[in-house]
Amino acid sequence: MADKIYRVNMTDLTSTIEEVPAAWAGHGGRGLTSTIVAAEVEPTCHPLGPKNKLVFAPGLLSGTVAANSGRLSIGAKSPLTGTIKESNAGGTASQLLARAGCKALIIEGQPKGDTWYSLALTPDGVTINEEKELIGQGNFRVVETLAKRLEGKPGIITIGQAGEMRMGSANISIKDPDGGLRSSGRGGLGAVMGAKKIKFIAIDPKDGKVAIANPEKFKEANRTFAKALVDHPVSQALGQYGTNVLVNIINEAGGLPTRNFSTGQFAGHESISGETMHDTILQRGGKIKHNCHPGCVIQCSQVFNDAKGEKLTSGFEYESIWAMGADCCVENLDHIAEADKLMDDIGLDTIETSVAMGVAMEAGVLPFGDGAGVCRILKEEVAKGTGLGRIIGNGAGSVGRAYGITRVPVVKNQAIPAYDPRAIKGIGITYATSTQGADHTMGYTIATNILNVGGKVDPLTKEGQVELSRNLQIATAAIDSTGMCLFIAFAALDDAKCLPALIDLINARFNLSLTGDDVVNLGKYILRTERAFNTAAGFTSADDRLPEFFYTEPLPPHNVVFDFSGKEIDTFWNF
């Protein structure tokens, strides 16, 4: 089945199928979403207006049996940051889009009036349908209802109430293999989908399959690639304890942001750690291994049950647990899990919203440590769109502006994730220079700064940090184009067979002859394309900086500050 571009115009409620332009043919995932957004979206447009476009693109290897290849990239101009944005997540949608022959789905325009719609995508095209029943409902109700309404096992992409209300923290959720949710969380892309009045998208590939140019070479490369992933010790730790294994590790390093980034260690870290969560899951009959998408061989996700043994949440990740735990000083895993479920249902980025709660605690809206209060605010304020709910639902920067708080951990208005840049300086360079606001996944220097993967760069010194972040951001941009999970990077950095096997997979899929240099050049192209969009939108090097308090407030226990000059940060772009 030949790949096509599926285009939906919400202004006149029409859809078309187009040939893939030659300039787009070699791209997938983030490379394709950023290429399309840069080509077709006016950089100065209002993110919630009709000129913005929402782009869904499976990766170059999506829809195949390649291990860990189920990530879906979603791109647009971000209503949270004002920059170009790509956010990716697992679930079943990426593989089903690829099997339907969809190279990318582009949604443009904006309907007039108050009517809401859904989209149904098959190999034959996209059908636009009016939707009434599920408007105002949470994501879990959407998935449950569509399981009864639709035939087969379609992919589901949906927004909750936050997206409908166009909140800056609104995410786009994707149904996973067990009927749970995986979230494209960062940047408020759910608000863009809400602005286009689309509640959900259903994908049915109709038994379509992805063609492999050289099946035997593909199988051989996949065996080598998958073995490299499962044999790596970090992959094994993630499979046993989940991403939350990092709580104790980062706390020991003094880089666990605590009490709204006022210290680097949390006294209650053991109560929210991956080890404690692992034991709790086993005691309550949950699952310590869970696929976020079919074909994952690491299985770092899990199902967390409540004290009665009933499912409370799944995909309970380190960044969410840190933000609601250490940053808000909440020690009760059940409160954190309930908040995680509520945010999944409402359709909120758990990082942005939880950091916003930490800033709200700093402002005295509720006490630090009040997990029950956080859940109450999510249910009674954010989900209902009250004044306070909208302030929090629009992110950490929104809360800081509303309450006059100066310790607001954001870059380009996006909340800083679970690693303090004063104690782990490499990640600070990533936060500052990322084209998409503060985002650890753009260049995960924790691998080398803390985990000693791919070598060792001392997290407390300046030496080598800019180069480390640059190299990882280039590599990550390329990985994000394949549909692969970021966690393949651990094996790719340490196992000499891993990256060549990934390149062999792409070559066998398309009958190409790519080299490692081609992959590096792809990553550089993506970063330059994204930066050019941001420059045209009005961003300058002055925006590539951390908030002032990181430079002036020493972080215990190491009592360090982020001490890079603007000139030093700007050398990042010397490539």
- Burial of 307 (C-beta count, 10 Å sphere; 0-12/13-18/19+): exposed
Output the CA–CA distances (angstroms, integers) from residue 480 to 244, 352, 378, 421, in the order listed: 22, 21, 31, 24
Q: pLDDT digits over 338-377, tens only?
A: 999 999 999 999 999 999 999 999 999 999 999 999 999 9
Task: For the chain, give the mean pLDDT.
Answer: 96
Report the residue count for the chain: 575
- Cα–Cα distances (Å) from 133 to 226, 295, 380, in that order, read 43, 34, 22
DSSP alpha helix (H) spans, 114-171: 139-149, 161-164
Provide φ and ψ at 156, rounded to 5°: -125, 130
pLDDT of residue 299: 85
CA–CA dist 315, 301 (Å, integer): 5
How confident is the model at residue 374, as a pLDDT? 98
Instruction: Report how far residue 550's alpha carbon sits from residue 53's, in angstroms, rounded to the nearest whole number.
Output: 35
Q: Is the pLDDT of residue 78 over 70?
A: yes
In a domain, 550, yes or no: no
Arithmetic mean of pLDDT, 431-435? 98
Residue 142 lies in a domain: yes
Query: What is the CATH number for 91?
Result: 3.60.9.10
pLDDT in tens, 144-159: 999 999 999 999 999 9
Q: How far is the CA of 138 from the CAs of 176, 344, 347, 464, 551, in angstroms?
A: 16, 8, 7, 45, 41
Tokens 């999944």 -> residue:
344
234 domain-assigned? no
- In this predicted model, what pLDDT tens digit does every residue of 436-490 receive, in sequence order? 999 999 999 999 999 999 999 999 999 999 999 999 999 999 999 999 999 999 9
Give 447's contacts (C-beta < 8 A, 6+ positions apart).
Answer: 234, 453, 454, 472, 489, 490, 493
| CA 17 to centroid of chain Cα atoms | 28
Domain of 147, in residue numbers: 4-203
**Alpha helices, DSSP H only, in 44-179?**
93-99, 139-149, 161-164
Residue 227 banded pLDDT, cuts 50, 70, 90: very high
Q: Is the pLDDT of residue 291 over 80?
A: no
Residue 464 confidence (pLDDT): 98
Label residue 301 by pLDDT band (50, 70, 90): confident
Task: Grade residue 317 by pLDDT with cuts at 50, 70 and 90.
Answer: very high
pLDDT tens digits, one per residue of 87-131? 999 999 999 999 999 999 999 999 999 999 999 999 999 999 999
pLDDT for the residue 289? 80
Would 376 be classed as within a structural domain? no
Q: What is the distance between the alpha carbons of residues 244 and 271, in angstroms, rounded to a whole number?
A: 12
Q: How high is the pLDDT of residue 178?
A: 84
**pLDDT over 70, % of the chain:** 100
- 20: in domain: yes
Report CA torsion sign: 406, 409, 410, 414. negative
Q: What is the DSSP letter of 21?
A: P
CA distance 512 to 523: 18
Instruction: Give the whole-angstrom CA distance, residue 364 versus residue 310.
Output: 34
Residue 75 covered by a domain: yes
**Is 10 contained in some domain?**
yes
Give 294: exposed, middle or buried? Use CB within 10 Å, 0-12, 13-18, 19+: middle
Q: How many helices (H) and strands (E) does the chain have?
A: 23, 17
pLDDT digits (tens, 9 = 90+) for 48-75: 999 999 999 999 999 999 999 999 999 9
pLDDT of 1 reads 55
Q: What is the pLDDT at residue 292? A: 80
- pLDDT digits over 6-32, tens only? 999 999 999 999 999 999 999 999 999
Task: Examine the pLDDT at 281 and tell me if it is beyond 90.
Answer: yes
Percentage of the chain exceeding pLDDT 90: 95
- How far apart CA 323 and CA 328 sit, in angstroms, is 7
* pLDDT mean over 131-154: 97
Domain-located, residue 538? no
List of long-range contacts for 35-41, beta carbons under 8 Å, 24+ apart: 35/529, 36/75, 36/104, 36/106, 37/75, 37/76, 37/77, 37/84, 37/533, 38/84, 38/529, 38/530, 38/532, 38/533, 40/106, 40/108, 41/76, 41/77, 41/533
Classified as helix, coil or strand, 383 is coil
- Give residue for tokens 């490299």: 228
- What one-letter code names the amino acid at 243? T
Contact 436, 84 (CB under 8 A): yes
User: 166-194 pLDDT, tens per residue?
Assistant: 999 999 999 998 888 999 999 999 999 99
> If you average pLDDT over residues 300-310, what whole number do you get?
93
For residue 293, pLDDT over 70 is answered with: yes
Tokens 């920059």 belong to 83
Two structure tokens written together for 45: 């447009």
Query: What's the CA gap between 192 and 194, in Å, rounded?
Result: 5
Neighbours of 367 (CB within 10 A): 10
pLDDT at residue 14, rounded to an integer:
98
DSSP E strand stretches across 296-406: 301-305, 311-314
**What distance, in Å, lies between the first and last C-alpha atoms of the chain?**
38
| Short-list 349, 319, 340, 314, CA closest to 180 | 314
Instruction: Extract the tokens encoding 484.
Output: 């692969």
- pLDDT at position 261 is 98
Given a cut of 80, whether residue 2 has pLDDT beyond it is no
Residue 242 pLDDT more than 70? yes
CA dihedral 534, 540, 541, 544 (to 10 degrees): -60
Residue type, 169: S
The number of distinct structural domains making up the chain is 1
Backbone φ/ψ region at 125: left (φ over 0), alpha (ψ -120 to 50), beta: left
Alpha carbons 358 and 69: distance in angstroms, whole number? 34
Judge whether residue 79 has pLDDT over 90: yes
Among candidate residues 322, 340, 490, the one with its CA nearest the CA of residue 419: 322
Give dist(CA 356, CA 328) in Å, integer.
10
pLDDT of residue 439: 97
